[in-house]
């Protein structure tokens, strides 16, 4: 599961709207409609400081996933095996998260999972987490960690485009401007990457972009289930399904005995990936959003691509050039413009 900060915020925003409708008095700090300025003035200082710290650490930890994967590839492991190790280690946490979110509270039992819910969870787990994760891991074998993070950061723009295709939502001129800026930044870095890495960049870029599209599809179709089941419950079960699929894929494509031939560094890096780039960031981001609201937490999450650039330069010796920095700034600015623009009404 490759949840970045904006993706977690998408789930929490749906949950927050649901909670604010049920209990407005308790949704003050959870409402995604609260402006950053309002959050700054209304939140107590210790709560604000802790929320900023949690959201910042969560964003940086999520960004470390690509660094860990690239380091592991240096020891001869393939994407199928590496993804299986990460998901197998994270599986108990996701099951626990789903159980915790679905337990009775104050004597009120959550809605039972009907067969349509179960089928929906399996489908969303396949598209949103299994397929997105596998394509991302596979793509990282061909492109730099910095470029991978930029492509994944396009996810909000893909949701806008899918909204126009699937729900006939009109894209405003302001959103078109944001799309042009962000994709212009990606093309800028792509040209630089192609000169350094060769033909493999085309395949790696396509795989990672497919990962972003897969998760955008998940976000586009999961809204109703998030409102009915809750964000944590849906994320927990869908992620658990993805973990099982990754394990099954490994058992079909790779011999189990090959695990004992892996370098010790691969096992160590997989533990770090599962714990500190998957489980811990999910908790940090959820706690940060609870204290800040999704709006302010989204602004904190913009440190993600920059933190990837810094870590890639330090741990992977990836060149930190003006082309990469310029493209990163364009992508971040474009996503900001696109997501902060007014939502257009559906075409009638």
Q: What pLDDT score was predicted for residue 101? A: 86
Q: What pLDDT score was predicted for residue 9? A: 52
- How far CA 33 is from CA of 15, 58, 104, 220, 291, in Å, comes to 12, 22, 28, 19, 14
Q: What pLDDT score was predicted for residue 125? A: 93
Q: What pLDDT score was predicted for residue 177? A: 93
Q: What pLDDT score was predicted for residue 340? A: 76
- Is the separation of the CB atoms in 84 and 244 below 8 Å? no
Distance CA 113, CA 52 (A): 35
Provide DSSP, 119-186. Answer: HHHHHHIIIIIIIHHHHHHHHTTTS-HHHHHHHHTTHHHHHHHHHHHHH-BPPPHHHHHHHHHHHHHH
pTM (2 d.p.): 0.82
Q: What pLDDT score was predicted for residue 35? A: 43
Where do the structural domains in the chain lie, given as residue ranges? 5-77+142-226+258-340
Q: Which residues contact 129 (CB under 8 A, 6 or more apart)?
A: 1, 2, 218, 238, 239, 241, 242
pLDDT in tens, 23-46: 333 333 333 333 444 444 444 567
Token pair listed for 211: 């990962």
Q: What pLDDT score was predicted for residue 118? A: 92
- Is the separation of the CB atoms in 1 and 88 below 8 Å? no
- Is the separation of the CB atoms in 218 and 132 below 8 Å? yes
- Is the separation of the CB atoms in 326 and 188 below 8 Å? yes
Q: Which residues of the chain have pLDDT under 70?
A: 1-45, 197, 294-295, 341-348
The region that residue 277 occupies, defined by phi over 0 for left and psi between -120 and 50 for alpha, beta otherwise, is alpha
Rounded to 5 degrees, φ, ψ at 298 are -65, -40
Q: What pLDDT score was predicted for residue 302? A: 78
Q: Where would I find the beta strands (DSSP E) of 72-132?
A: none
Closest listed residue to residue 240, CA positions, set 141, 101, 105: 101
Q: Which residues contact 268 (CB under 8 A, 6 or more apart)?
A: none
């Amino acid at each position: 599961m490759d949840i970045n900060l904006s993706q977690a915020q998408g789930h929490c925003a749906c949950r927050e709207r649901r909670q604010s409708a049920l209990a407005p008095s308790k949704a003050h700090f959870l409402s995604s409609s609260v402006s950053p300025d309002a959050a700054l003035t209304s939140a107590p200082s210790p709560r604000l400081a802790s929320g900023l710290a949690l959201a910042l650490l969560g964003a940086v930890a999520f960004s470390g996933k690509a660094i860990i994967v690239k380091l592991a590839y240096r020891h001869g492991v393939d994407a199928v095996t590496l993804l299986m190790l990460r998901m197998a280690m994270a599986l108990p946490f996701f099951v626990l998260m789903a159980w915790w979110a679905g337990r009775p509270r104050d004597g009120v039992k959550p809605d039972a999972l009907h067969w349509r819910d179960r089928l929906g969870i399996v489908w969303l787990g396949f598209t949103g987490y299994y397929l997105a994760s596998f394509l991302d891991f596979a793509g990282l074998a061909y492109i730099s960690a910095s470029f991978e993070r930029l492509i994944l950061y396009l996810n909000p723009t893909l949701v806008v485009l899918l909204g126009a295709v699937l729900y006939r939502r009109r894209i405003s001129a302001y959103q078109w401007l944001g799309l042009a800026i962000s994709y212009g930044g990606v093309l800028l870095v792509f040209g630089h990457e192609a000169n350094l890495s060769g033909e493999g960049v085309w395949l790696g870029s396509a795989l990672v972009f497919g990962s972003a599209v897969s998760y955008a599809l998940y976000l586009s179709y999961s809204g109703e289930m998030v409102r009915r089941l809750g964000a944590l419950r849906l994320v927990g079960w869908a992620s658990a399904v993805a973990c099982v699929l990754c394990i099954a894929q490994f058992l079909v494509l790779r011999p189990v005995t090959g695990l004992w031939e892996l370098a010790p560094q691969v096992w160590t890096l997989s533990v770090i990936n599962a714990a500190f780039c998957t489980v811990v960031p999910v908790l940090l981001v959820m706690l940060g959003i609870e204290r800040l609201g999704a709006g302010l937490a989204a602004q904190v999450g913009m440190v993600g691509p920059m933190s990837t650039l810094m870590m890639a330069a330090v741990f992977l010796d990836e060149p930190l050039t003006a082309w990469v920095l310029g493209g990163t700034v364009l992508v971040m600015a474009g996503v900001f413009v696109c997501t902060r623009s007014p939502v257009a009404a559906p075409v009638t």
